[in-house]
Amino acid sequence: MVLINTEKLSKKYGKDDTEIVALDNVTISIDKGEFLSVMGASGSGKSTLLNLLGGLDYPTEGAVCYAGRNIFDMDDDELSDFRLKKLGFIFQSYNLIPELSVTENIVLPKAIAREKQDDKRMSEIVEILGLSERLNHLPQQLSGGQQQRVAIARALVNQPEILLCDEPTGNLDKKSGENVIKLLKMLNETYGITIVMITHDAELAKETTRIIRISDGKIV
């Protein structure tokens, strides 16, 4: 079953002689429960695609449809609600708030949504991610791999249907990166979370169920 798809999606910056085509007429479908990796050289358009899938940027042309509805037809409140409740974002930089503890960083989306924290869900997440002994630590007291696991926990706390990951292992050493991919695979296989991951690492991409390659803004 198709969960999210793009239709003739394009993104351009500038105009006339200075126009840059970041994404060019891209149409893809992503099935529910799929683990998709997107590969391409720097500047190929892969991050632009991820940002559009997550409603973090607006296309010049085309649509991103979730459950059959173009997310760019939503008003600002609806789009914010979609991002908060249906999506989880994991970035290369962990984007943790240094003054907050691990627990406070993880539950931040719940606080933003003004929703009560599901303690059972929280316990399950931190146990799976091996963070049970680190909940009172500050980010700077953690290794890079541990910080990325906190970022993954934060992305999972609202029970998203889709995880969007932009080079999630980019700042990690090889072993930590492999551990993060194992965690993502487990989340995909055990919980059926749909994952779209940008990576430049062909070995990591092989761990996913499908690979899409982008060059000069086009699927190749």
75: left (phi over 0), alpha (psi -120 to 50) or beta: beta
Per-residue confidence at 206, pLDDT binned at 50, 70, 90? very high
Domain ranges for the chain, please list them: 2-219
Angstrom distance (rounded) from CA 143 to CA 201:
22
Residue 143: phi and psi, rounded to 5, are -75, 170
Amino acid found at 171: N
pLDDT at position 115 is: 81
**Tens of pLDDT along 61-71?**
999 999 889 99
**Tens of pLDDT along 92-138?**
888 999 999 999 999 998 888 788 877 888 888 898 888 999 999 99
pTM for the model stands at 0.91
CATH dotted code for 2-219: 3.40.50.300
Cα–Cα–Cα angle for 24, 51, 139, rounded to 5 degrees: 150
pLDDT at 27 over 90: yes
Q: Tell me, what DSSP letter sits at residue 56?
A: S
Q: What average pLDDT does this structure show over 147-156?
A: 92
DSSP for 82-118 reads HHHHHEEEEESS----TTS-HHHHHTHHHHHHT----
Residue 165: phi and psi, rounded to 5, are -120, 120
